[in-house]
Structure 1
Amino acid sequence: MRQYELTVIFPLEDDQHKAGREQLLADLTANGVEIEKTDEVGDRDLAYEINKRKRGKYVLFTIKADPEKIATLDRIFKLNANIVKYLFVRVEE
């Protein structure tokens, strides 16, 4: 298993934020991902407008996962309407 940082931008609306976060956590655990740490970064301006949104709630996850699972999660997250944007970054050990 490799270590990754997953940065996720959720919508500012509380109902969409909670639904998106619950779905994301369910998807991670269903795919055997180990969540080591979660950091709420807070509300921030986006670098550019995405889906007519200028702000979002940023959350940073430190996870351990198999590389094959990252590709699967990428496909799943694209279908989640409650995620504005996400990014997986492999952490060098």
Structure 2
Amino acid sequence: MRTYEAMCVFRAEDEIFKRGKEVVREELVKLGASIVKEEDMGQRTLAYPIDKAHQAHYFYYVAEMEPSKANQTEDALRLKTELLRFMMVRRDD
């Protein structure tokens, strides 16, 4: 198993953020990842509007999963409407 970091940018509304956070967690677990760390990075002003949003809520995940599941995870997260943006990278340990 390898370690991956994911930074997720959610819409700033509390309900959407809470639901989105759970959706991402469920998606990771469904694909066999074990979540090592979750960190709320808080709400920030965006440098430029994304889908007419000027504020966003940032959330950071560290998860361990099989490399073959990483691409499936990215594909699944692209379809989630709660996410404005996300980036997932492999962490070198």
Q: CA deviation at 1:46?
A: 2.0
For residues 50-61 of structure 1, the aligned pairs below 5 Å read 50-61=50-61
- Residue equivalent to 1:23: 23
Q: CA deviation at 1:63?
A: 0.9
- Residue equivalent to 1:71: 71
What is the TM-score of this pair, normalised by structure 2?
Answer: 0.93
The root-mean-square deviation of aligned C-alpha atoms, in Å, is 1.0
Q: CA deviation at 1:58?
A: 0.5
What is the TM-score of this pair, normalised by structure 1?
Answer: 0.93
Gaps of at least 5 residues in structure 2 are: none
Q: CA deviation at 1:47?
A: 2.9
Name the SS of the counterpart of 2:37 in structure 1. strand
Q: CA deviation at 1:13?
A: 0.7
Deviant stretches of 4+, over 6 Å: none
- Residue identity (%): 29
Q: How many residues align?
A: 93
Aligned residue identity for 1:78 = R
